[in-house]
Amino acid sequence: MPFTANRSYKANPRQLVSASGMHYQSGDGRTILDGTSGLWCSNAGHCRPEITEAIAKAAGTLDFAPTFQLGHPLPFELAQRLAALMPEGLDRIFFTNSGSESVDTALKIAIAVQRSKGQGTRTRLIGRERGYHGTGFGGISVGGIVTNRRTFGGGLPGADHMRHTHDIARNAFSRGFPQCGVELADDLQRLVDLHGADTIAAVIVEPMAGSTGVLVPPTGYLQRLRVICDRHGIILIFDEVITAFGRVGGATAAGQWGVTPDIITMAKGLTNAAVPMGAVAVKRELHDAMIESVPGGIELFHGYTYSGHPLASAAGLATLDLYARDGLFERANELSAYWEDAAHSLKGRRHVIDIRTIGLVAGIELKPRSGAPTARAMELFHACFDNGLLVRATGDIIALSPPLIVAKAEIDEMFGKLGNLLDTIA
Ligand code: PXG
C-alpha cells in the first residue's frame, strides 16, 4: 500500500466504500465528513453526476486511442480550456497521468528547453527542503523529504536544495502569508554563486508546500524567486498539483498570488480525481524554442501510453465545466475568511503550537509527544476517522483541505470535532 504502515493497516483495516458530495461511507457503515477532498483532489466533492456521466459516455464512444503520431479531439479541447485558466502565456499543455509524472515531465522539458537555447550545460535541478514533488526519480531528487530519498540513493546527482520556509519561532499563528522569511529566497542566489548559473536548468517549488504540513510562502518570497530566476536564466517551475483548481481561491496559486512561473505542474483537481490525470503548462516561448530547435521529426522524446486518455479528458472537461458553472474557485475565495476564523479558533487548545491557513487549506501543528514524534497526530487522525471526520496527518501536523462545496456548518463540524478530540489525545 502507498505510504502506509501495512502491518498496522491490516491489523485494523479502515475502509471507504462509497462517496457522495462531502461524505464518504466507511466499510463499517459510518458516514465520514471529507475534510481533505480525498487526497487534496476531489475539489468539487464526490461522485458528481456531471462527471461520472461524461466518463461513461467517453468509455462507450472511444475507450482508448493512441496519441503517439495520432490524435483524438478531447485532449485538444481540454488543453484549450486549461490554457485559458493558466496565467497569461502558459498555454502549451502536455498531459500525464499523475502529479509525479507531471513533475518529471516538467523537469525534462526544462532541461530540453535550455539545451534548445544552446544552454546544454544547464542540467542541474534545484528544489527545496520539505518539498514534495511525487515519487519519480526526478521528483524525489528535487524533493526535500528525507524518508522519500534515502532508501533510494537520494535521486539524481547534481540536484540541490534551498532551505524550507517553515519558521514557527517567527511566524506562529499567521493568517495567510507569514511576515518573516522573504530572505530565504536568497538561497537560490547562493546556489547560483556556488554552482554557477550555467549549470542550473530549473528551480521547482510548491507555491504552498502541502504534503509537509501546509507551509504558506512568506510575503514576497515567490516574487523574489522570480527575480532571481530572471536574472540568471533559470526556469521557474511551480508545482501546483495541490494548489491549482481552487484550493487557494483561484485557478492557480500563480494567478491568485500574481507570480508567473515558466512552467506549472498539475494533477488531482484537474479531473476531480475521478480518473487519474496530470498536466504540465509551459510558456509558449519555451515551447516554441524547443519545437523550433529540432529540424524535423519528433521534438520531445517523452510521453505516456495514456497521455490524453479519453476517459480522463472527458472527466477533465466535465470537471472544468462544473468548477465554472458553480463558481467553485470564487466560492473557495469567499469562504476563506470564515475558514480562517474557524481554524484559528483552535488557538490555545491542548497541544496546538501553530495554525496556518490560506484559501481552503489549514495546517494545525501539534507539539510532538516527547520521545514519539508523529504519534500524537497519527492518533488524532485515527480518532477523527473513528468519529466521522477525514483529516490528513503529516509529521505532527493535521492538514485540512475540504471540497470547495463545503458548507459553513460543515466547517464548524470539522473544527468543533477536532477541538474536542484534541482533549482526548494524550
Ligand atoms: N507534487 C505535489 C505538490 C504533490 O502534492 C505530487 C506532486 C505527486 O502526485 P501523484 O499524483 O503522483 O501522487 C503531489 C502529491 C498528502 C498527499 O497527504 C499529498 C500528495 C499525494 C498523496 C498524499 O499530503 N501529493
Q: Write the CATH number for 27.
A: 3.90.1150.10
17 domain-assigned: yes
> Which ligand 1 atom is the nearest neighbour of the CA of 100?
12
Rounded mean pLDDT of 33-58?
Answer: 98
What cell was used for 168? 514557527
pLDDT category at 34 given cuts 50, 70, 90 is very high
Q: Where is the domain boundary, 326, 358, 378? A: 326
Confidence at residue 161, expressed as pLDDT on a 0 to 100 scale? 98
Q: How far is the CA of 298 from the centre of ligand 1 (A)?
A: 31
Rounded mean pLDDT of 397-407?
Answer: 98
Identify the CA nearest to 36 among candidates 46, 26, 27: 46
Please indicate, yes or no, whether the overall pTM of this predicted structure exceeds 0.85: yes
> Which ligand 1 atom is the nearest neighbour of the CA of 267?
11
CATH label of the domain that carries residue 278? 3.40.640.10
97 domain-assigned: yes
310 domain-assigned: yes
58 domain-assigned: yes
The dihedral over CA atoms of 23, 28, 30, 33, expressed in degrees to the nearest 10, equals -40
Does residue 211 have its Cβ closer than 6 Å to ligand 1? yes
Does residue 92 have its Cβ closer than 6 Å to ligand 1? no
Q: How many domains does the chain have?
A: 2
Q: How far is the CA of 98 from the centre of ligand 1 (A)?
A: 9
Confidence at residue 236, expressed as pLDDT on a 0 to 100 scale? 99
Confidence at residue 194, expressed as pLDDT on a 0 to 100 scale? 98
Q: Is 335 found in the same domain as 238?
A: no
Ordered DSSP codes for 175-214 = BSS-SS-GGGGHHHHHHHHHH-GGGEEEEEE-SSB-TTT-
Q: How far is the CA of 99 from the centre of ligand 1 (A)?
A: 6
281 domain-assigned: yes
Whose Cα sits closest to atom 24 in ligand 1?
Answer: 211
Confidence at residue 192, expressed as pLDDT on a 0 to 100 scale? 98
Confidence at residue 358, expressed as pLDDT on a 0 to 100 scale? 98
Q: Is 252 found in the same domain as 381?
A: no
Confidence at residue 388, expressed as pLDDT on a 0 to 100 scale? 98
| 395: CB partners within 8 A, 6+ apart | 212, 213, 373, 374, 377
Q: How far is the CA of 240 from the centre of ligand 1 (A)?
A: 10
Rounded mean pLDDT of 14-26?
Answer: 97
Does residue 241 have its Cβ closer than 6 Å to ligand 1? yes
Q: Is 308 found in the same domain as 223?
A: yes
Rounded CA separation 186/61 (Å)? 52
Tell me which residue range forms the domain holding 351: 6-48+327-422
Q: How far is the CA of 75 from the centre of ligand 1 (A)?
A: 23
Rounded CA separation 280/105 (Å)? 7
Does residue 96 have its Cβ closer than 6 Å to ligand 1? no
1 domain-assigned: no
Q: Where is the domain boundary, 293, 326, 359? A: 326
Mean pLDDT value across the chain = 98
Q: How far is the CA of 267 from the centre of ligand 1 (A)?
A: 9
Q: Is 298 found in the same domain as 336?
A: no
> Which ligand 1 atom is the nearest neighbour of the CA of 392?
18
pLDDT category at 104 given cuts 50, 70, 90 is very high
102 domain-assigned: yes
Confidence at residue 400, expressed as pLDDT on a 0 to 100 scale? 98
Q: Is 108 found in the same domain as 42?
A: no
Does residue 394 have its Cβ closer than 6 Å to ligand 1? yes
Question: 286-341, pLDDT tens digit by residue?
Answer: 999 999 999 999 999 999 999 999 999 999 999 999 999 999 999 999 999 999 99
65 domain-assigned: yes
Mutate to test the pocket of ligand 1, among 39, 42, 215 (most ligand atoms within 8 A of CB): 39
Question: 377-390, pLDDT tens digit by residue?
Answer: 999 999 999 999 99
Q: Where is the domain boundary, 326, 358, 387? A: 326
Q: Is 284 found in the same domain as 173?
A: yes
Q: Is 238 found in the same domain as 128?
A: yes
What cell was used for 410? 460543515
Does residue 132 have its Cβ closer than 6 Å to ligand 1? yes
Rounded CA separation 405/43 (Å)? 8
Q: Is 274 found in the same domain as 255?
A: yes
> Which ligand 1 atom is the nearest neighbour of the CA of 212?
24
Q: How far is the CA of 312 from the centre of ligand 1 (A)?
A: 18
Q: Is 355 found in the same domain as 240?
A: no
Rounded mean pLDDT of 331-353?
Answer: 98
**Contact by Cβ (8 Å): 359, 333:** yes
Whose Cα sits closest to atom 14 in ligand 1?
Answer: 134
Confidence at residue 105, expressed as pLDDT on a 0 to 100 scale? 98
Q: Is 303 found in the same domain as 378?
A: no
Q: Is 204 found in the same domain as 157?
A: yes
Q: Is 197 found in the same domain as 99?
A: yes
Does residue 247 have its Cβ closer than 6 Å to ligand 1? no
Adjacency order of strands within the sheet including 352-358: 352-358, 361-366, 397-400, 392-394
